Structure 1
Amino acid sequence: MTAATHPPRTSAIRAALTVVVGLALAGALVGALWAWLAPPVKGVVALTRAGDKIKAHIGMEADNWFTSAFLMVGLLSVLAVIAAVAVWQWKTHRGPVLAAALAAGSLLAAASAAGIGALVAHLRYGAVDIAGAPVSEQQRVHYITEAPSVFFGHSPLQIAVSLLVPAAVAATVYLLAAVACPRDDLGAWPPVEYPGSPTGRIGTAVSVPAAAPAPPSP
């Protein structure tokens, strides 16, 4: 692999900002796509004999909570892999600055995808009003459709893990590309040449002087 032959046209800071902003916008598109693909959760609001209103899911519909959250993580992981490969192609800026920008951008992409996805899903399916459900003694069951879930749960740890997974995937892919690169400078600018670097020669003829004859023994 050869090193970059020309200096970059943009500064390292501008390159990092480009990666972060680009991933944030891509995350918003992923959130909109998720809201269109994620399956909703169908259920009922029922009136009990005691007069209380309860919510229940129909059949295996409760599994869609996991399916929708896993779909979000999967889409963001795919985005992270594509982003890592694309950022690696920015040869002149390869290094820790773009690696950090890639991880931060992937985290921001996950946050924007979750926010946009939840907003679009809420606008599409609305909120479930259990207290205002039209159930009565004559009709004790009211069918509802709930918006899919962005996260696997509502605890801070579950939300943090869901947001950090894409950043970890992007950083891992970029790290693997860096490890596989034969150059210590990753081919970035400015190139670094080492004295012990390969010269491309197949062989070198070296003339060795003949050994001096040993003195005669007394």
Structure 2
Amino acid sequence: MSLSGEEHQPRLRPRFSRRSAAVIVVVGLALSGALVGALWAWLAPPAHGVVALTRSGERVQTYLGSESDHLFVAAAMLIGMLVPVAVVAAVLVWQWRALRGPVMATALWLGSVAAAAVAAGVGAVLVHRRYGTVPFETAPVTPQNRVFYFAEAPPVFFAHGPLQVVTTLLFPAAVAALVYALMAVATPRDDLGAGPEERPPLLQRPEPHPAA
């Protein structure tokens, strides 16, 4: 009985080096972050408020009804738009079979951080150009016209503290890294499927010998 199998196939040769592929992933995610920031600036709701002049001559500022909730909704909307980008990016990067591994995983979470930072920067610039700043000191309130209505630009962060800013930037990256890690864990092969699939050798039936 003899053993035979398919000839060994060479490992898949990537078109780009790992460093070039990592740069492509980071730059691509940063550009997608710019698109997310522009879309967020168009969809995010502003917070409508009023600047009023009291009888004592002091200026006071308040929001109309539940408009202050938009300050939280807008920041949550930005994260909600970045998370699907992170998931899709992890799946697309995983399809680059020949380059699967820690280098691409690192490029993925770095690119996700860059996407969140670019989205926040682009979104903040666009909404402030659209709505301006809160005119608390410059609102044209007078004893004859004591009320001035305004629309406040939606914020990109829940607060301006470093913890809130870092959380917004790292949350999409954590989601992308988790999705990539789950796909890696679900792969039974040590090379993460980067090489050709190895099949067990086939058994051939022995040729019958002629009778003496």
TM interval, short-chain normalised: 0.7 to 0.9
Q: Could you say what secondary structure the match of 1:62 adopts?
A: helix
Shift of 1:192: 9.0
Matched with 1:169 is 175
Structure-2 residue corresponding to 1:62: 68
Aligned pair in 2 of structure 1 residues 173, 136: CA closer, same or farther (>3 Å)?
Answer: same
Q: Deviations over 1:138-197 (max 9, x none)?
A: 111100001101011110001001110000000000001101112111012xx499xxx8
Q: 1:139 to 1:172 in 2, by over 3 A?
A: same
* 1:86 partnered with 2:84: no
Match of 1:152 in 2: 158
Within 2, Cα distance between the matches of 1:37 and 1:200?
Answer: 59
Structure 2 runs not aligned, ≥5 long: 1-8, 206-212
After TM superposition, the score normalised by the length of structure 2 is: 0.88
* 1:91-126 residue CA offsets vs partner (Å, 9 max, x unmatched): 110000000000000001000000000000011111
Residues 184 and 192 of structure 1, relative CA distance in 2, 3 Å threshold: farther
Aligned partner of 2:107 in structure 1 is 101
Q: CA deviation at 1:6?
A: 2.6
Give the letter for the 1:102 counterpart: L
Percent sequence identity over matched residues?
56
Equivalent residues of 2:159, 2:165 under 8 A apart: yes
Q: Separation in 2 of the partners of 1:120 and 1:27?
A: 14
Gaps of 5+ in 1: 206-218
1:128 alignment partner in structure 2: 134
Larger Rg: 1
Could you report, residue by residue, the CA deviation over 1:72-109 in whole angstroms, capped at 9, with x for unpaired residues? 00001011001000100011100000000000000010
Distance 1:174 1:79 in 2: 13
Residue in structure 2 matched with residue 210 of structure 1 by the alignment: none
Q: How many residues align?
A: 197
Calculate the aligned-residue CA RMSD, in Å.
Answer: 2.0
Question: Does structure 1 retain, via aligned residues, the 8 Å contact 2:10–2:196?
Answer: no
Aligned to 1:14: 20
Contact kept, 8 Å, 2:50 with 2:147, in 1: the verdict is yes
2:12, 2:196 within 8 Å by CA — same for their partners in 1? no
Aligned partners of 1:54, 1:183: CA distance in 2, in Å? 65
C-alpha separation in 2, matches of 1:32 and 1:51: 40
Compared with structure 1, are the counterparts of its residues 109 and 129 closer, same or farther at alpha carbon in structure 2 (3 Å cutoff)? same
